[in-house]
Structure 1
Amino acid sequence: MYKYAPTNVVKYYASYKEIAMISTTTREVRLRSYLTSIQMHCKEIIRLGNIKDGGWEVCNDIRFRPRHPCLVYSFGINWDWGFDEDVVKTYDCEVHSFDPSMTYSGKRPNIHFHRIGLINKRNLYDFKRKWNMTTLDDIRTILDNGARKIDILKIDIEWDEWIVLPNIIKSGVLKYVTQILIELHSPGNLERMKTVRSLYSEGFRIFWYHRNHFCRRNKAYIEYSICFEVCFVRI
């Protein structure tokens, strides 16, 4: 049996009303505490991709590991194909890689590149960045993956995760997702706290986290990380 331990942080967020009553400073502290808490014990964790920045941890336990024919969505590539290639080598999955900032016409076995970004509205064109964007639910429809399970959903999109997550949760897509690997940025505000609480309500538990020390900020002459690579499984 898989056991998870709701932390005091999660217990504290019994309702959105209670979250709204927390001060801004406390929200930041609580969010950091939450993102660095292990809620679910994964017996075997493997790292796929770069050993430094760019790699991700995957729960390889029988209950959660991808099985052929498996499906993986990888948002945010930045020319680092290490994770996507390791997914193919390890699990023989069909991988769809997304990055609107890249132009790529090469071929990699079982990896399909899409020059499109993830956002909270369908068919949105970002004129400032000149990017084509759309929702996760729309992407599943376009790729005819509507009835398929997404074994791993990786999201590394530099702050935009807080824009897209509420839409993903509301769309109901997460019921098809087994693992979420995502880079989350702090500080916390009310909406971000609600989003994290909603992920918990959807059944996602943290089995691994990593402070990304390539993403730092100075405050009161103390340097600290503001990026957390957080890995979830749906129990």
Structure 2
Amino acid sequence: MKKRIAIYGTGSYSERLLKWIQYRNIDVDICFFIQSKVDELSFFDRPIYSCSKIKDDFDYLIIAVSDKYKLQVLDNLEAIDIYEKIKEKIVSIDEFKILAGWNEDVLVDVPIQWVSDGLEKVGSDYGGYWIDRNVLGEKPIVLSFGIGEEISFDLEMINKFDAQIYAFDPTPKAIHFMEQYKANENISFFPYGIAKEEGEASFYLPKNKEYVSGALDTREELEVIPITVQMKTYSSIVSELVAGSTIDVIKMDIEGSEFDIIPEILNSKDNSVKQIVVEFHERFYPDGISKKNKVLKLLNEKSYLLAYNDEKEFTMSFVKRK
């Protein structure tokens, strides 16, 4: 018999949960959604109720909101008449995944493993990353994948450490944006992206023309019809540009391709990368947590230790153990 579930929340967390349920073919009956303030009658063709309107006719009530709102949600539920009857049925998204038998889709808890007095955030609040300055060479080499229209990290690496930046982005807006930095001797920009395969590739731009970032695979917020861009593999980029050199930092903001590219880097025959800083995009995929877990496991196996985890900006910084 199908389990009957109710979901508290009608935002992005609920949408990702529904996509995961569909992707993993979880056989459940979604009864209704709950919102503190009901502005709409339905969500994904299911009714939306306020807390005071719900009845004890479900097997699980899944809290699908960010950590910021979880305490408020629990307070709202504790205030209703049937709370004592339903409190044992209230679960988090991760708890529900475990109950459904998909432990691999629960994000592994990676502790901070690299402790250093050299850790600092380089770049703006939005576009910055944490690095360990104590690990940098005299004139550090940085491979910066995914530029968009925000290079505060790259510019501050130059200003503070005289870094040599090799920047890559096939997005038309990024190519136009980087025209202004042609005269900067510390920046070499290349109008192609990084991928597992060399050559031309289909690339999907955002539907919202105010946005910049595109991706190799389409999704709801991206155009259906792609443009064609040039891509190169990690091994080609290294052999053409920095062969035989130590790479001090690899920075990645590549809209989900990191799940393919990080293993390519880590398994390359001449991996001389000291630090990897990356924005993860597991939120774009129904099995994104599983993808991220595999990459985190491989980073650990290859002696890359977590130095900083900025959950708000989805970024993580890793330093290779000597």
For 1:124 and 1:198, locate their aligned partners in 2 and report how far apart those are by CA, in whole Å. Answer: 29
Whether 1:96 and 2:166 are equivalent positions in the alignment is yes
Indicate conservation of the 8 Å contact 2:168/2:193, yes or no.
yes
Alpha-carbon offset, residue 69 of structure 1: 2.8
Structure 2 residue corresponding to 1:181, chosen from 273, 277, 281: 277
Alpha-carbon offset, residue 167 of structure 1: 2.1
Structure 1's unaligned 5+ residue stretches are 1-21, 214-227
Structure 1 residue corresponding to 2:302, chosen from 190, 193, 202: 202
Indicate conservation of the 8 Å contact 1:53/1:212, yes or no.
no
Q: How many residues align?
A: 190
Whether 1:26 and 2:103 are equivalent positions in the alignment is yes
Indicate conservation of the 8 Å contact 2:154/2:165, yes or no.
yes
Alpha-carbon offset, residue 24 of structure 1: 6.4
CA deviation profile, 1:98-151 (whole Å, cap 9, x unmatched): 1110223232341111111111112343362322111111111222x1100000
TM-score with structure 1 length normalisation?
0.74
Whether 1:67 and 2:137 are equivalent positions in the alignment is yes
Whether 1:168 and 2:168 are equivalent positions in the alignment is no
Alignment correspondent of 2:24: none
1:188 aligned counterpart, secondary structure: helix
TM-score with structure 2 length normalisation?
0.55
CA change 1:206–1:129 in 2 (3 A) is farther
Structure 1 residue corresponding to 2:231, chosen from 125, 133, 141: 133
For 1:56 and 1:135, locate their aligned partners in 2 and report how far apart those are by CA, in whole Å. Answer: 24
Q: Percent identity?
A: 25
Where in structure 2 are the equivalents of 1:73-88 lying within 5 Å? Answer: 73-88=143-158
Alignment correspondent of 1:224: none
Indicate conservation of the 8 Å contact 1:180/1:232, yes or no.
yes
Whether 1:55 and 2:128 are equivalent positions in the alignment is yes
- The structure, 1 or 2, with the larger RCO (C-alpha pairs under 8 Å, 6+ apart) is 1
Alignment correspondent of 2:115: 41
Alignment correspondent of 1:232: 318
Indicate conservation of the 8 Å contact 1:118/1:133, yes or no.
yes
For 2:292 and 2:150, locate their aligned partners in 1 and report how far apart those are by CA, in whole Å. Answer: 28
Indicate conservation of the 8 Å contact 1:126/1:133, yes or no.
no
Indicate conservation of the 8 Å contact 2:196/2:260, yes or no.
yes
Structure 2's unaligned 5+ residue stretches are 1-97, 204-225, 283-287
Q: Which has the greater radius of gyration? A: 2
For 2:272 and 2:302, locate their aligned partners in 1 and report how far apart those are by CA, in whole Å. Answer: 11
One-letter amino acid of the structure 2 residue matched with residue 72 of structure 1: V
Alpha-carbon offset, residue 39 of structure 1: 1.4
For 1:183 and 1:120, locate their aligned partners in 2 and report how far apart those are by CA, in whole Å. Answer: 18
Alpha-carbon offset, residue 25 of structure 1: 4.0
For 1:207 and 1:43, locate their aligned partners in 2 and report how far apart those are by CA, in whole Å. Answer: 11
One-letter amino acid of the structure 2 residue matched with residue 167 of structure 1: E
Alpha-carbon offset, residue 203 of structure 1: 0.8
For 2:312 and 2:191, locate their aligned partners in 1 and report how far apart those are by CA, in whole Å. Answer: 26
Indicate conservation of the 8 Å contact 2:200/2:228, yes or no.
no
For 2:168 and 2:141, locate their aligned partners in 1 and report how far apart those are by CA, in whole Å. Answer: 14
1:68 aligned counterpart, secondary structure: coil
CA RMSD of aligned residues (A): 2.0
Alignment correspondent of 2:87: none
Alpha-carbon offset, residue 184 of structure 1: 1.5
For 1:80 and 1:30, locate their aligned partners in 2 and report how far apart those are by CA, in whole Å. Answer: 29
For 2:197 and 2:294, locate their aligned partners in 1 and report how far apart those are by CA, in whole Å. Answer: 20
